[in-house]
Amino acid sequence: MAASDVFLFLLQELLDYFILPEHLSGENQYRCDSCVGLRDAQRSIKILQFPSHLVLTLKQFQFNSKTGQRAKLLHRVQCSENIELHNQPYKLYAAVVHSGSSMDTGHYYTLARDQSLAWHIFNDSTVAPCNPPPWNIPDTPYILFYTRPEEQLQPAVDIT
């Protein structure tokens, strides 16, 4: 894939788009159970209680049903350290990343912050500081872990 084929997406814009109301009309009408017919409608997402931790999974692959093949998408998603979901702020504290240009090869590693909020890379048996985290293609984040700013991060392991 050429560099010109790589798309850049901002995570905040993707979240904002995801929670926009969706108008169901035309060939995409809602099937009403009450009247047993198709009707225009609006689908919306409402968050009744904001979680202390937010886990986002990014779909970084596509499946071609005609050929039966799957491919890794090399779209670059700018993973902001701070995001908002309905005006509730969240701060990035960890990510699972796939390094490799195909779904059939590559390597997974984790990026995480310690109590001092410094970034570390957890790669097999190696732990090393990395500031800032490497968000470069073909290293693509698959799972992002956010927390509300008022939450205290608790270390999962002692890296000293």
CA distance 149 to 38: 44
Predicted pLDDT at 160 = 58
Predicted pLDDT at 151 = 72
H/E run at residue 15: helix 11-18
* Spans of the chain, pLDDT less than 70: 1-9, 60, 73-76, 134-138, 152-160
Predicted pLDDT at 68 = 78
Closest CA to 115 of 151, 89, 80: 151
Predicted pLDDT at 80 = 81
Predicted pLDDT at 3 = 41
* Helix, coil or strand: residue 84: strand
Residue 35: left if φ>0, alpha if ψ -120 to 50, beta else—which one?
alpha
Closest CA to 40 of 25, 60, 61: 25
Q: Quote the tokens at residue 85.
A: 């979901």
CA distance 98 to 120: 16
